[in-house]
Structure 1
Amino acid sequence: MAAKNPLVRKENGHIDLLAAAGGVRGIAESILPGLVFLVAFTLTRNLSIALVGSVVMAAVFLILRLIQRTPLTQALAGIAGVALSAFLAMQTGKAENFYLIGFLTNAAYILAMVVSIAVRWPVLGLLFGYARNEGVRWRVQPERMRAYRVATWILVGVMAARLLVQLPLYLSEQVDALGAMRLIMGVPLYAFGLWIAWLVSRPVQDLQRAEDPQNL
């Protein structure tokens, strides 16, 4: 399980943020369909053209993975999300509804993480614990439990910030601004929040090692 976990440490002990975000391809698959939609709609104000462009971009990534015989999970999830978002926007005739699924998904993640904290199985404890070869031993150590609960709250804060900033833009139908904020507050903000959570939840021995003059 630890070997398959994308949250792995580099040789210097820091989290590999690029791998955590799915690598260069994963980032492109996450960003480009939305970017194509935003650019096409901004330039043409034609919802159909923007939606077709977005779906085609997602389909291109899926086809590339099929040709290269690489795992399809992320590409399938991506094209399913884009297709559903496009369907909602087309059915309602409102471009801002292209982003509605993202709001619902974001809210679901927030709920799941808050529940995980409440039941003392914080999500980032599970992810970071395996990346650090702690397994779930941290659950019987009060200070480690506390650290992973704080780390998970940090990611909750990141996702709550997305809703706080983007929902007013959605409700006021400011599609261009909403699309731009979705890109800015997408992978870059997620990676930053994950990095801060990683630092906050470092075990004591990692902190001592970092402060040891012999390691400088």
Structure 2
Amino acid sequence: MSDSPRPDDAASGPESRDVAQPSASEVFGAALGGAARRAGLDPAEGKSTGHVVWRAMGGWRGIFESVLPGLVFVITYTVTIDPATGDGDLLLSLVLSVGIAAIFTVVRLIARQPIAAAVGGLVAVGVAAAFAAFTGEASNNFVPGFVTNVVYGSALLISAFVGWPIIGLAVGFLMGDGTAWRRDKRKRRVFFWLTIVWAGLFAARLLVQVPLYVADNVTALGTLKLVMGLPLFAPLVAVTWLVVRALYPRADRDPSYGR
């Protein structure tokens, strides 16, 4: 019997297995691209920029789920402020806020609709409420949000400066480009700055809100958190989408794309 290697043996050798193994950046980029597609950011659907932004926000339900719990907390706490102490009813504010987030989740469960966003919102509201209740300080309801902004902003900033901007990874796999965009200087530069701008959004939230937290101005802090949420997120999604369209003009072959 011949000892010469068979073709299928060679194909299954260590080198071929190494080639088949995706890199960490490819795995991460594919995950980001998949998440963006599930959020409605799929260029293959040929949707308009306005539709893409609306889907990214989750429509009316997504807006209510994102805004209402925080809005109720701010309004309730402000309305119940005792002039003598300067403090509002923290327990009532937290109960109403968490309760509304829970209702949104239950409604989705009953309607058998995707509950990931609602559950994520409920967990975020619940963790913030638990932290505030445990410390007895209403302003601590916003601390988990600060941590989230630090983590996201840092990840975006670091990824940009190490040459693997997160926006580029997400867009590359969303547009079927993989990591090939890194060989294009123009795309590399644009994705770098887009990632920096997104990092700037999280940094701006911290720069504006942390001083209000230190001053224990719960009403102003809660109000600005809402103002710096979806009202800033939506335009940035639109700008990012428009830039991506400019970078990938082949998508414009679909006459309905980006109208």
Give the TM bin, normalised by the shorter chain.
0.7 to 0.9
Provide the C-alpha distance between the structure 1 equivalents of 2:229 and 2:248, rounded to a whole number of angstroms.
32
Q: 1:67 aligns with which of 101, 110, 125?
A: 110
Provide the C-alpha distance between the structure 2 equivalents of 1:22 and 1:114, rounded to a whole number of angstroms.
26
Deviation, structure 1 residue 104: 0.4
Matched, 1:53 2:89: no
**Matched ranges for 1:124-203 at <5 A:** 124-203=167-246
Asked if 2 retains the 8 angstrom alpha-carbon contact of 1:117 and 1:123, the reply is yes
* 1:114-170 per-position Cα deviation (integer Å, ceiling 9, x unaligned): 121123221111233344343332122121111111111111111111111111111
Deviation, structure 1 residue 12: 6.4
Deviation, structure 1 residue 205: 5.9
Provide the C-alpha distance between the structure 2 equivalents of 1:47 and 1:204, rounded to a whole number of angstroms.
49
Q: Which residue identity does 1:7 align to in structure 2?
A: L
Could you say which residue in structure 1 is the equivalent of 2:158? 115
Q: Which stretches in structure 1 are left out of the alignment for 5+ residues?
A: 210-215
Q: 1:103 aligns with which of 116, 121, 146?
A: 146
Q: Which stretches in structure 2 are left out of the alignment for 5+ residues?
A: 1-33, 81-87, 253-258
Asked if 2 retains the 8 angstrom alpha-carbon contact of 1:113 and 1:123, the reply is yes
Aligned length: 209
Distance 1:114 1:151, change over 3 A: same
Moved more, 19-28 or 126-135: 126-135
* 1:170-191 per-position Cα deviation (integer Å, ceiling 9, x unaligned): 1100100001000000011012
SS at match of 2:113: coil
Matched, 1:4 2:38: yes
Moved more, 18-27 or 171-180: 18-27
Provide the C-alpha distance between the structure 1 equivalents of 2:245 and 2:189, rounded to a whole number of angstroms.
11
- TM-score normalised per structure 1: 0.87
Identity %: 40
Matched, 1:20 2:63: no
Provide the C-alpha distance between the structure 2 equivalents of 1:149 and 1:205, rounded to a whole number of angstroms.
16
Distance 1:205 1:104, change over 3 A: closer
Q: Which residue identity does 2:169 align to in structure 1?
A: L
RMSD: 2.2
Deviation, structure 1 residue 72: 1.8
Q: Which residue identity does 1:32 align to in structure 2?
A: L
Deviation, structure 1 residue 196: 2.5
Q: Which residue identity does 2:237 align to in structure 1?
A: L
Q: Which residue identity does 2:38 align to in structure 1?
A: K
Larger Rg: 2
